[in-house]
Every structure is written in structure tokens, then in C-alpha cells.
Amino acid sequence: MSRRRVVITGMGWVTPLGDDLESVWQRLLAGESGIAKTTLFDASTFPTTFSAEVKEFDLAKYLGPEDAARHKHCNRNAGFALAAVKMAWDAAGLSGATKLDSTRIGIYLGSGEGPIDFDNFVAAAVKGWDREANGGRGDLDARKWCEVASQRLNAITEFEQDPNMAAGHIACQFNIEGPTFNTLTACAASTQAIGEATNLIRRGDADVVVSGGTHSMIHPFGVTGFNRLTALSTRNDSCITASRPFDRTRDGFVLGEGAGILILEEYEHAKARNAPMLAEITGYGSTADAFRITDIHEDGRGGIAAMRLALADAGLEPKDIHYISAHGTGTEENDKIESKAIQGVFGEWATKVPVSSVKSMLGHLIAAAGAVELITCVLAIRDGILPPTMNYSTPDPNCPLDYVPNKARKAEVKTALSNSFGFGGQNDTLVVTKVTME
């Protein structure tokens, strides 16, 4: 028996460049940037003062006032996800579908944890800190902390922080009772989610899976964490050009936020209800570096293995790939090693296959990045045009590939490959292909 085919029948996103599938795509092709000064909190003295924020988000715009009120306590991640699912669900024609079996619809998300209730958390922490204790080194006074925290923290905000809550809201809003997972493998999460969702359908555990990712780390502790790791660009005087994947003058990634959702569906199920078939997921590969939590293996070992597994899963050769959507974060290390890994897999073909990174415009959406990037691959296949890598001005001898610099390019794309690599050595690759009808 041949294996069950998995097609994409709907897509939706909430990004720093907007939420409408087509207009965001046009803005990406035009090389626009979603990066600006951070407004979600006062980042003016942080090493990095800018980010790629989602502007003026209002859940009621997508769900209507009544349903939005039902989800009014959900955090930024879950809100983005609900909006993106709604757009994908409608695009897939599922809203009017009457014969859906809710137990055969699953969810496989890569949702991040919700932001900490910052002001209240910090107030309790500061008031609970006893400077004199521990011989003047200070210590937490748990009694004092408890008194303040129990007054200032509230149950719902705490409850909604769990990374599985986005899936919980989605299941209720769209009446989904099938297998439900949330994976959180850092920056690889939504690519991993889509790959695993593909396997759920292939195996027959579900016919439809809502998959993708959602994340916002544009909050004081998120930026603190990445700034302390010196992972972020600090090009504060020119933030629009700060995200410079593969450029020699790159100095780190730019933090973004948003959600990308794809409706994955078994081919015959989609065909039977005349659903749009936007592309087919043909390959998935997942590996661990098992090297270091801070550094990528210098040979790109894990990335090479993930890409090879994805190609083998798709039954394709390197020359069958017409476009690579790179992880391309704009950090010194990632871009160098990802380029090396692509060369390791593609050999001579490496310089012929175009590679680009939309993170140059959207920033890095962390857990949501892979899903948003896979959507751009599907659109590149559909329209025969590749999104550019913006801000590319100075070639880096360590990055010798064709990065589609600064300008979108027409190209026939039958098959695209998308990489996501996470902190700690998580590597995931997907292959998407133009649908051939049986």
C-alpha cells in the first residue's frame, strides 16, 4: 500500500508585516521590513532597542466580538494562533464543511510559553528580596514574596502561560477532538510540528491536522535572555537594516513575533471535499546535534543529516530542489554553518539552488518561524517567484551561495526545502512540492 499523501489546504498568518496572506506576501516580495523600535515595553536602555512587532492586534477582527470575548484572557501567543487558524480554516473551506469528524482532526502546534506577568512578577521579586540575608549577599524571603505574589499575581494570567494553552483554545473554538500535541523545540518548533503532523496523517491517526506555530518573546525577559546570549543584533541606529542574513556585516538576529498556521489534510480527504490543494508535504527530517547547548556542530552535522533525511523521505535528489528557505537568522555562526551544511548536502548543486531568508524582513519568529517560512515556500511554488534576502551588501567568503540578494526573483519552483534549527542543536527540515493530481 502506498503511503497516505499529505497536502496543505489552507494557510494563515499573523506577522510583523500584517495578517492578510496575499498582501504580506506582496510586501515580502517588495522587500519591506517589519522591524521598528520596540513599543511593547520600554526597551530604550536595552542593548537592543528594536524588534519586529505585530501591530494593532485585535482578536475580534478575526473571530467576531462574541467569540473573541470568550477567549479574552488568552495571551499573545494563543491570540495570534486563533487568528491564524481562523484564516487558514476558512481558506481551506472547513468553516462550511458539515461532514467533519471532530475526532479525526488533530492539532500539532509549536507554541511558545506565554509572557510572564511582568510588572506583578517583578514587584513580588523585588519586594521578596532580602538584601541583608545570607551575610549581605541577599536571599529570597519566601514569606515576604508569597505575601506580595499572592496579592498581585492572578490565576488566569498564570494559567494561560502554559505552552499548551494555544492548542486548548483552538480545540474549543474549532471543535477539534483528535490527537493534540504542542512541541517546543525552540526555533525549530513549528517545522517539527508540521513534520510530525504529516506523520500523524500518513499513519492514519488523523485526516486533518491544524499545524504550525505561534510565539512572542518580545517582552522584557525574552529580550534580556537573548541579549545576555549576545544573539541579537544591536544595530540600534539602523534597525530596518539590522537583520542581515548571510551578509558579512551581520551581527545577530532580530526578534520578531507572530503565528503561521497550515491546514494539513490527507489527499483523498481533501479531494473528496474539493478543497484547495496548495502544495504537498513530501519530506521531513529531524535530528539532534548532540554536541553543545550553545554552539552548532562546526561541520553542520545535524543540519546535513536533517536535510538528507527529508530528501530521502521525499524520494528526491538534491537537484530536484529549486529553492531553499534558509533558517538564515543573521547570526555569525548559524549562517556560516547552515551554508556549509547546504554545501555538504547539495555538493556542486549548492551554488545553483537559490537560498533566501525572509527573516531579513520579518525578524525571527522563534517557535513560529518555521511555519511562516513554509508558507512562503508554498507561495513561491504557486507564483513562481522567490522572496529576497534583504540587506545583503557585503559577501562573506564563509557564505558562498546564491542568497537571492535584495530583490525578488522569478523562478519556476516545483519543490522547495525549508530549514529550522533550534538552540541546543535541534534540526528540522521540510520538503514541499507542487501537487500532482491522481
Q: List residues with catalytic annotation.
A: 187, 327, 364
Decide: is 149 part of the binding site for other proteins (CB under 8 A). Answer: yes
- The answer to whether residue 147 forms part of the interface with other proteins (CB under 8 A) is yes
Residue linked to cell 499573545: 76
The residues in 409-438 that bind other proteins, with binding defined as CB under 8 A, are: 422-426
Q: Which of residues 150-179 bind other proteins (CB under 8 A)?
A: 150, 153-155, 158-159, 161-165, 167-169, 171-172, 175-179
Which range, of 102-110, 259-267, 329-337, 343-351, touches other proteins by CB under 8 A? 102-110
Cβ closest to other proteins, residue 206 vs residue 278? 206
Nearer to other proteins, 204 or 384 (CB): 204
Question: Which residue in the block uniquely carries the three cell numbers 487558514?
Answer: 88
Query: What DSSP character marks residue 353?
Result: S
Q: How far is the CB of 389 from other proteins (least distance, A)?
A: 27
Nearest distance from C-beta of residue 406 to other proteins, angstroms: 32
Taking the least distance from each CB to other proteins, the nearer of 109 and 277 is 109
Identity of the residue, 220 or 388, whose beta carbon is nearer to other proteins in the bound complex? 220
In the complex, minimum distance from the CB of residue 325 to other proteins, in angstroms, rounded to a whole number? 21
Q: How far apart are CA 305 and CA 303, in angstroms?
A: 5
Task: Work out how close the CB of 57 gets to other proteins at its nearest, in angstroms, rounded to a whole number.
Answer: 20
Tell me the per-residue interface mask from 104 to 123 with other proteins, x by CB under 8 A, - otherwise.
--xx-----x--x-----xx
The answer to the question of residue 39 lying near other proteins (CB under 8 A) is: no
Report the alpha-carbon distance of residue 173 to residue 283 in Å, rounded.
30
Name the phi and psi angles at 180, rounded to 5.
-135, 130
| Piece of the chain touching other proteins by CB under 8 A; list 136-144, 233-241, 378-386, 413-421 | 136-144
Per CB under 8 A, contacts with other proteins among 42-61 are 42-47
Tell how far CA 112 is from the center of its chain.
10
Of 55, 65, 97, 126, the one binding other proteins by CB under 8 A: 126
- Three-state secondary-structure class, residue 422: strand
Q: Are strands 279-288 and 6-14 parallel, antiparallel or unpaired?
A: antiparallel
- Closest separation between CB of residue 94 and other proteins, Å? 14
Handedness of CA 329, 185, 53, 64 (dihedral sign): positive
Distance CA 24, CA 31 (A): 11
Contact set for other proteins, span 193-252 (CB under 8 A): 196, 199, 203, 205, 220-221, 224-230
In the complex with other proteins, the residue whose CB is nearer, 113 or 335, is 113
Residue numbers 67-96 binding other proteins by CB under 8 A? none
| Number of neighbours of residue 202 by Cβ within 10 angstroms | 17
Which of 125/272 has CB closer to other proteins?
A: 125
**C-alpha torsion angle, residues 199, 201, 204, 208 (rounded to 10):** 160
Q: Which of 69, 97, 125, 272: binder of other proteins (CB under 8 A)?
A: 125
Residues between 342 and 401 that touch other proteins (CB under 8 A): none
Options 69, 97, 142, 272; binder of other proteins; rule CB under 8 A: 142
Q: Give ∠ CA 394-397-403 in degrees, rounded to 5.
A: 60
CB of 158 to other proteins, least distance (A): 5
Is 292 near other proteins (CB under 8 A)? yes
**Identity of residue 9:** T
Element spanning 13, H or E? strand 6-14
Of 17 and 149, nearer to other proteins (C-beta) is 149
Among 139, 298, 317, 412, binds other proteins (CB under 8 A): 139
Q: How far is CA 385 from CA 88, 348, 374, 389, 393, in A?
A: 22, 23, 14, 13, 21
What residues contact residue 247 under an 8 Å CB cut-off, 6+ apart? 330, 391, 392, 393, 394, 395, 396
298 binds other proteins (CB under 8 A): no
- Does 315 bind other proteins (CB under 8 A)? Our answer is no
* The amino acid at 290: A
Cβ neighbours for 386, distance < 8 A, ≥ 6 positions apart: 323, 354, 356, 380, 404, 408, 409, 410, 411, 413
For other proteins, the closer CB: 349 or 423: 423
Nearer to other proteins, 282 or 356 (CB): 282
Binding of other proteins by 66 (CB under 8 A): no
**DSSP strands (E only) in 15-167:** 36-37, 50-51, 105-111, 129-130, 139-140
480554516: which residue's cell? 89
Residues contacting other proteins: total by CB under 8 A: 91
Q: DSSP labels for 204-232?
A: TS-SEEEEEEEEE--SHHHHHHHHHTT-B
Region near other proteins per CB under 8 A, out of 134-142, 244-252, 393-401, 403-411: 134-142
Residue 202 identity (one-letter amino acid):
R
